[in-house]
Amino acid sequence: MHASLCVCALIPHPRLETRTRLLLVIHRLEDRKTTNTGRLAAECLTNSAVVVRGHASQPDPSIAWDPSSQPVLLFPHEGAVPLTHFVHRDVTLIVPDGTWRQASKVRQRVPGLAAIPCATLPPDAPSVYRLRSEAHEQGLATLEAIARAFGILEGLHVRHAMERVFRAMVERTLWARGSMETEDVADGIPSGVMRHDPRSGEPRIPA
């Protein structure tokens, strides 16, 4: 994002403390995209870590987790169970971040993941992520999926705090593209920020 539109001030301070640990396994190509939301999710949580995979010159790294916790891969592989099965347990939630194709390969490509259970989210509201086209009708941005998962495992206050940051990131980006009006942006636009209005060809100061 443009520095003037940064959402860092909206990240919970102090960061959200949770019993559930987030382990984000991000594809190297996804890690370079400005529209990535997975790292933003990790920034919201104290109990989080990020592993980058997919380098052609080296094998994918092994994943380690606290042996006292239950590792769970959040992806709808065949045989996946509802995430609600793991409520009230200490969970390390492993979340693949990338395209659907990249995410679907994580279980086979990353050592140690093939044997752990997979979990799915229950039906919920449609995604509000509008920065990329979605190949799957029920697809979610990574931060959306993580927020909903933590809402189940930790409580709705965690979900809502993360979704606030996500919504601001999406809508400020849409505003910068000229696709959203200032008054419609969640948490507003920082004062003094200007954007190029594609309809007029001139910079525009937000109302």
Domain boundaries, the chain: 3-204
CA-CA distance, 3 to 14, in Å (whole number)? 22
CA-CA distance, 112 to 123, in Å (whole number)? 29
Q: Are 155 and 176 in contact (CB under 8 A)?
A: no
pLDDT on residue 60: 81
Strand partners, 120: 82
pLDDT on residue 203: 53
CA 204 to chain centre: 31
Provide the strand spans (E) within the chain: 21-27, 48-53, 70-74, 81-82, 91-97, 118-120, 195-196, 203-204
pLDDT in tens, 125-165: 999 998 887 666 678 999 999 999 999 999 999 999 999 99
pLDDT on residue 206: 53
Residues of the chain under the 70 pLDDT cut: 134-137, 196-207
